[in-house]
With several copies, the nearest count.
Chain A
């Protein structure tokens, strides 16, 4: 019996946990290395649940998100990452510069 990974009521999304990725770079790589069939399956599974998901996530203050809700949140970030591929281009990434060449930069102070 594996432990529950997503919050109560969202277990049906557990087959898509491979999309629960913490960093933008991981999500970019996941998008560009996944075939459209897999991307579309993930899209179709998550989009109909988004109203529920966002309502559920709204209950947590940003600094007190439990691990299972955090995983669910990362799923929504991956949805954001692949939605244009499904809705607009019909391919994982648009024809253009390699996405990894646009390096994320954090210009604001990092305070501990």
Chain B
């Protein structure tokens, strides 16, 4: 690992090195532009295929930022479809649960009923309507596609790119072979609403510069070491609008008492020190570093995927207002086969979650101060490359 000065920005000089403005984090007008030109135009990761394994399985996703609620359902033919969750009669929300399994969807308001493929099947007191064309009154579909088991939707009625084109070949092949499917049988997840702009939240999870300060007690020595005191990254590779970072571990770290106990049973924490000589999934540890920790994919606009050996996790940041964000965290791992395995997973869950609580401590405080107007700009260092790229990409979307 070569620690160097400004090496990432030398690799991507087009991003510049200057400060970036505070306005995108606090302005309601900017937020409306993000809504219209980014969230209503791009592919958004809304979940995993494992959420709906069987025909008739569905889940509902409230997409406040796109002013809609989405119903995602697996049809009798095994296809995954997505619809605006809305009855064609007077617009009532069709499904009120967050998930379930059914044969048909029946509106609680007047009983109109839809098939799993979205077509309208039953109109209550139909003969009292006036020449309805039932075949034109199905649920309104949305563009939907999957990649590595992640379900993406696009609320644009006519998406400008297919999902595979939007993700791009570079990003897609960078992670080829990672066993997302095998690792997705078990999911621990949380969400919360934080009073911060969605980018304040995302920024906090797409740089590790803060680890040696904010997390010094929990994971201060997990990534940072004497040789690499600020946990500088092994690699940054950009696939605009997306990007990837690769992180090393501190090989000299001593496990705590309970960590030593846990270790024998496989934990859901990001495995911290994965030797390159071990069998690692293809498409990780791009530099082949002997003490690799994890790789992070930043999918524009609002999704981060962190992959390690034996476990991966996602952060998704759903804007609500310019000052409010629903933050979703999901960690994936294989099912534990024994109670000992469950204990070990529990430990991983707790220590990861505690780290999240520390991370979150800055979010609302930062938003409060950004709103003060005291400063018009913030400054970024070399290791905050993904934050800088996010800003530049956003500008290009807003000015397109």
Contacts and interface: CB of A to CB of B under 8 A. Distances in A.
- A and B in contact, CB less than 8 Å: yes
Interface of A: 47, 50-51, 54, 57-58, 60, 62, 65, 69, 73, 76-77, 79-81, 83-84, 87-89, 93-99, 101-110
16 contacts: A62-B339, A65-B339, A73-B343, A76-B346, A80-B262, A80-B350, A83-B350, A84-B351, A87-B258, A94-B217, A94-B218, A97-B192, A97-B361, A99-B357, A105-B189, A109-B52
B358 A96 contact: yes
B346 A77 contact: yes
B53 interface: yes
Contacts of B256: 83, 87-88
A88 B215 CA distance: 10
A81 B101 contact: no
Contacts of A51: 261
A93 B189 CA distance: 20
B190 A102 contact: yes
Contacts of B101: 109
A108 B256 CA distance: 33
Contacts of A83: 256-258, 347, 350-351
A96 B359 CA distance: 7
A89 B218 CA distance: 7
B340 interface: yes
Contacts, number: 133
Contact of B191 (A89, A98, A103, A108): A103
Contacts of B358: 94-96
B36 interface: no
Task: List 6 A-B pairs, minimum CB-CB distance, nearest first.
Answer: A96-B357, A97-B360, A96-B361, A83-B258, A57-B339, A80-B347
A88 B338 CA distance: 27
B330 interface: yes
A51 B340 CA distance: 10
Interface in B87-131: 96, 99, 101, 108
Chain B: interface residue count, which band? Answer: 35 or more
Q: Which of A62, A81, A84 has the most CB of B within 10 A?
A: A84
A94 B50 contact: no
Given A94-B354, A99-B353, A62 B337 contact: yes
Nearest to B329: A102
A99 B50 CA distance: 27
Contacts of B330: 107
A99 B106 CA distance: 24
Nearest to B190: A102
A105 to B, nearest CB: 5
A102 B356 contact: yes
Contacts of B266: none
B47 interface: yes
B351 to A, nearest CB: 5
A107 B339 contact: no
B166 to A, nearest CB: 24
Contacts of A50: 258, 261
A95 B339 contact: no
Contact of B338 (A62, A101, A104, A105): A62
Interface in B307-337: 328-330, 336-337
B53 to A, nearest CB: 7
Contact of A58 (B192, B328, B338, B359): B338
A69 B330 CA distance: 29
A101 B363 CA distance: 14
B340 A109 contact: no
Contacts of B350: 80-81, 83-84
Contacts of B96: 95
B183 interface: no
Given A96-B358, A97-B361, A107 B258 contact: no
B99 A109 contact: yes
Contact of B57 (A81, A101, A109): A109
A88 B96 CA distance: 21
B22 interface: no
Contacts of A89: 217-218
